[in-house]
């Protein structure tokens, strides 16, 4: 299935917007995560965790899902295909990994944000909360790798892509011979 040019441009615009938005939201989350990991101030810890809970659940997750779905639509609806080029397949797999970790981590972030929002939580308890800094840094790096792959589009067809390309050449040669 090939998309019309108007639909392809719309899907591409939504995909780029959600993907870049995902990276930006993760960068904001990372700044708060660094604050939560390094601050000794109870009010700052509370504020950071509450904001991290909001960003993770209401911004990062929807942007990640939108990016994933529009990327899938773009790959299936254009000549790039999902399984034809290594860079598309690798981007897809890395996106699934990033989303899986995000979806597994989000309930924990939400629980920690709820604990931080509770006024009865002591400063000692706030300081003892686990941090998500490793996931934040890892997620940021993973999203940057995906973005670089999608910009540079390194050459390399998968075996499936190579077979499809050969089939298309054969069909073109037959059509050219007949006409």
| pTM of this structure | 0.90
Label residue 17 by pLDDT band (50, 70, 90): very high
What is the chain's Cα-based Rg? 22
Mean pLDDT of 102-124: 97
Q: How far apart are CA 118 and CA 112, in angstroms?
A: 10
Report the share of the chain in percent with pLDDT over 90.
88
Which residues make beta-bridge pairs with 157? Answer: 85
Report the mean per-residue pLDDT for the chain. 95
The mean pLDDT value for 120-130 works out to 94
Over 90: is that where the pLDDT of 124 sits?
yes
Residue 45 binned pLDDT confidence (cut-offs 50, 70, 90): very high
Crossing angle (nearest 10°) for helices 133-152 and 86-117: 150
Mean per-residue pLDDT for 131-148?
Answer: 96
| Beta carbons of 177 and 129 less than 8 angstroms apart | no
The DSSP secondary-structure symbol of 78 reads S
Residues with Cβ within 8 Å of 82's Cβ and at least 6 positions away in sequence, in order, are 72, 75, 76, 88, 89, 92
Q: What is the mean pLDDT of residues 52-66?
A: 98
| pLDDT at 2 (0 to 100) | 81
Would you say residue 66 has pLDDT above 70? Answer: yes
Element (H or E) spanning 169, and its range? helix 159-178
Average pLDDT rounded to a whole number, residues 114-120: 97
Other beta carbons within 10 angstroms of residue 17's beta carbon come to 14
Can you give the residue range of the structural domain that contains 103?
5-178
Which pLDDT value is given to residue 60? 98
Predicted confidence (pLDDT) at residue 99 exceeds the cutoff of 80: yes
Structure confidence at residue 1 as a pLDDT band (50, 70, 90): low
Mean pLDDT, rounded, for 74-88: 91
| Distances, alpha carbon 88 to alpha carbons 112, 136, 169, in Å | 36, 24, 22
Q: How many domains, in total, are found in the chain?
A: 1
């Amino acid at each position: 299935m090939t998309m019309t040019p108007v639909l392809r441009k719309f899907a591409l615009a939504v995909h780029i917007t959600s993907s870049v938005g995902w990276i930006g939201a993760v960068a904001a989350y990372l700044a708060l995560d660094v604050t939560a990991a390094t601050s000794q101030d109870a009010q700052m810890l509370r504020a950071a965790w509450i904001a991290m809970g909001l960003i993770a659940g209401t911004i990062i997750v929807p942007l990640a899902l939108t990016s994933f779905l529009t990327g899938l639509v773009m790959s299936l609806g254009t000549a790039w295909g999902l399984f034809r080029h290594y860079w598309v397949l690798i981007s897809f797999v890395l996106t699934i990994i990033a989303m899986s970790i995000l979806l597994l981590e989000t309930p924990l972030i939400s629980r920690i944000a709820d604990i931080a929002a509770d006024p009865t939580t002591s400063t000692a308890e706030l300081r003892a909360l686990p941090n998500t800094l490793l996931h934040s840094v890892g997620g940021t790096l993973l999203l940057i790798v995906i973005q670089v792959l999608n910009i540079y589009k390194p050459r390399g067809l998968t075996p499936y892509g190579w077979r499809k390309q050969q089939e298309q050449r054969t069909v073109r040669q037959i059509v050219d011979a007949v006409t």
